[in-house]
Amino acid sequence: MIMSLRPPFKIPGRPFYHYEIDRKRRSLKTADKAEAMRLFNAIKQLYVNGKISRLTGETAKISLGEFAEEFLNWSEQAQPKSTYNVNRHALNALMAVEGKSIRLDRITPKSIDKMIANMSSGKTVHGRIKKRNSRETINCYIRTLKSVFQKAKEWEYYRSSPFLSVKQLPKEFKPPNYLEQKNVGDYLGSIKDKGLCLFVTALLATGRRRCELLYLDWADVDMERRRYYVRQQKTHLERWFPMSDDFVAVLQEIGPQEEGKVFRLGHPDTVSKKVKQTLIDAGFPNHKLHDLRHSFAVLFIQAEGGLRTLQELLGHTQIQTTEIYAHVADDHLTEAVNRVKLVVNSGPHLKLVK
């Protein structure tokens, strides 16, 4: 059989680019020509090196380490940096228990179980106690590996991904950490760096995620209509949000500009460390930057805001994500129910309010 590849092309009436491998048509699942070429070139390299099976039904003889290297090379070019980093960490966690030399076709659901056990343990490694990973981190790696090995299937390393049946760990309910209303003023007043204080105030006033504010550009701020546009790596999450009075005050203090980043505080990780230090200095050592988002949500509920509205303001795609604040709403209902007064006293003869 003559082996052949056909570069990306479009089929009339279909949005995505396709390519052909040995006369078998496959979708690249992108409508962007530049991205289609990047994907195709990565596949072409695998094809030339004999890493992709040629419709024989046989699994290509490639090790986990070789696949990880090839996949990460592709991911670095074709995906956002944050996605690439998660892919790298998840593959490293898998290779930590299976090794780099294991053949790819010998990876099974048991490999995930071994990874979970390793990440959940507190064993001593090289004389140091290894930190146990949270269920959230483990589930993130499981989701990532399911996606990574689905790509391996698309590259014809597998007929079916070995992780299709793998399920995530049951989620642990942990009430969100937050600042109480009475502590907010003192905390903000304790931050000496004015730029950092304005950023923290913006976090508390909007409930935005760290990078949603750090990447906010003046071009996406509409002071006249009191709204701002949040850009996401997933375009279906991009949208306009209304400005609160507090957020307007922050922006006016910084000074509206024609262009450029609103908050110029450096790398996101550096900002997180600085905010963490301000929380420690203010007497909240168990809090972190993301807890300011939780603080906004709790304060919103305590101000009689509803969960559905909060879902919209936080940008959650599913109400289940917002329901971690439901216990706050329940506490608020317990307080609110006594606003209706019918009885003056609780003696043997009840007297109703006239």
Active site amino acids: 209, 234, 290, 293, 316, 325
Contact 296, 206 (CB under 8 A): yes
Please give the angle made by the CA atoms of 235, 239 and 242, to the nearest 5 degrees.
160
Phi, psi of 156 (to 5 degrees): 70, 30
3-state secondary structure of 347: coil
Maximum pairwise Cα distance, the chain: 98
132, 120 contact by CB (below 8 A): yes
Residues 67, 60: Cα–Cα separation, whole Å: 10
Distances (CA, A) of 305 to 310, 312, 341: 7, 12, 23
Nearest alpha carbon to residue 301 among 323, 268, 279: 323
Ranges of H-type helices in the chain: 33-48, 64-78, 81-98, 109-120, 135-154, 181-190, 194-206, 210-214, 245-254, 268-281, 290-302, 307-314, 319-322, 326-336
* C-beta of residue 75 within 8 angstroms of C-beta of residue 151: no
**Residue 163 contacts residue 253 (beta carbons within 8 Å):** no
What is the sign, positive or negative, of the torsion defined by CA atoms of 68, 70, 72, 75?
A: negative
Nearest to 104, CA basis, from 141, 158, 58: 158
**What is the 8-class DSSP label of residue 125?**
E
Decide if 285 contacts 243 (C-beta within 8 A).
no
Q: Give the C-alpha separation, 156 to 20, whole Å.
A: 13
Q: Are 214 and 268 in contact (CB under 8 A)?
A: yes
